[in-house]
Amino acid sequence: MIFRHTDLTRTTKTVPRLIKFEEELDLGFGEEIAAKAYGQKLLSCIQCGTCSATCPLSHYMDFTPRRVIAMVREGFRDEALSTTTIWLCASCYSCTTQCPRNIHITDVMYTLKREAILRGRYPKRYPIPVLARNFFQGVFRTGRNSEARLIIKLYLQTNPLDALRQAVVGMKLFLMGRMSLRQDRIRKIDQLQALLNAVDSGNGKKGGAGK
């Protein structure tokens, strides 16, 4: 790992000036991702930077989308999968509509997110994957999303100290009846779970409650 990821509050970062050896790279990674995200077009990136310039969030990212694509192309697998970039992507599709090579950059970001989860490479206490995981787990178990439980879990797993501060707001919302701790459930949850497991196995995962 030559790049350290940082949280949202750190927007500038120091890249250790290390030498990268070819043996540390995964040379097939570019084609692998390309195959999962609309084909060879990903490889035809000319590094123009339109994606980074048009991205409304690129200044919060540790690496701009352009650099992430370069890293994917050149087989910097671990680095690409541990960027904050892929998690900060808000799926606004600006980059995809403007890309002069018609690369489906948003889909590349989704593919990388999936890949990061599969390989357990995503940043452990980073809110976005944590939110995604808890959302999925909640829905998988009950068939319904409970906002209150989701938010509480998110804060406990990412920033427990901040959870105390947010608790005040939470209490007010609770008292006003804007938030409920009640957990709705659907009937025949086993059928939904079978469905979700089938989707998961289609994604090359063994199935069983989105870990």
Partner 1 sequence: MSKSNGNRPARIGFYVCHCGHNISGTVDVAAVARYAQALPHVVVSREYKYMCSDPGQERIAQDIREHALNRIVVASCSPLLHEHTFRTAVEKGGLNPFFFQMVNIRENVSWVNESPEEATEKAMDLARAAVHRVAFHKALEPKRVPILPDVLVVGGGIAGIHAALTLANAGRKVVLVEREPTIGGHMAMFDKTFPTLDCAACILTPKMSQVKNHPNITLWTYSEVSKVEGYVGNYTITVRRKPRYISEKLCVGCMECIEACIYKEGKFPDEFNAGLSRRKPIYIPFPQATPQVVVIDPQTCIEFKTGKCKKSCLEKCDRDAIDFSQKEVVEEIRVGTVILATGYKTFDAGRLPHYGYGKYDNVYTSLEVERLVNASGPTGGELILRDGRRPKTVGIIHCVGSRDRNTNRWCSRTCCMYSLKLAHLLKEHTDAEVYNFYIDIRAAGKSYEEFYDKLLEENVHFIRGRVAEVTDWTARPSEEGKLVIRVEDTMIGVVRRIPVDMVVLAVGMEPQFDAQEVRRLFNISCSTEGFFLERHPKLAPVDTFTDGVFIAGACQGPKDIPDSVAQAGAAASQALVLIDSGSIELEPNTAYLVEEDCSGCKSCLTICPYHAISHDEARKKASINEALCKGCGTCTATCPSGAIRQNLFEDEEIYSEIRGLLTPMPAEAQGGESC
Q: What residues line the site for partner 1 (CB under 8 A)?
A: 2, 15, 17-23, 27, 30-31, 40-41, 43-47, 66-67, 70-71, 73-74, 76, 101
Residue placing its CB nearer to partner 1 in the complex, 65 or 129: 65
How far apart are CB 7 and partner 1 at their closest, in Å?
Answer: 21
Given a contact cutoff of 8 angstroms between Cβ atoms, the answer to whether 157 and 125 are in contact is yes
How far apart are CB 178 and partner 1 at their closest, in Å?
Answer: 46
> For 34, what's the count of Cα atoms within 13 Å in the CB-facing half-sphere?
21
What tokens does 128 get? 């976005």
Residue placing its CB nearer to partner 1 in the complex, 21 or 206: 21
How far apart are CB 32 and partner 1 at their closest, in Å?
Answer: 11
How far apart are CB 111 and partner 1 at their closest, in Å?
Answer: 17
For residue 186, which phi and psi values (nearest 5 degrees)? Answer: -105, 165
Residue placing its CB nearer to partner 1 in the complex, 41 or 205: 41
- How many residues make up the chain in this entry? 211
Residue with tokens 């701009």: 64
Residue placing its CB nearer to partner 1 in the complex, 32 or 147: 32
Residue placing its CB nearer to partner 1 in the complex, 30 or 123: 30
DSSP letter string over 101-170? Answer: T---HHHHHHHHHHHHHHTT-S-TT-HHHHHHHHHHHHHHHHSS--HHHHHHHHHHHH-HHHHHHHHHHH
CA-wise closest residue to 137 among 150, 126, 152, 120: 150
How far apart are CB 78 and partner 1 at their closest, in Å?
Answer: 13
- For residue 87, CA distances in Å to 61, 90, 111, 123 come to 9, 8, 11, 9
How far apart are CB 45 and partner 1 at their closest, in Å?
Answer: 7
Residue placing its CB nearer to partner 1 in the complex, 27 or 194: 27
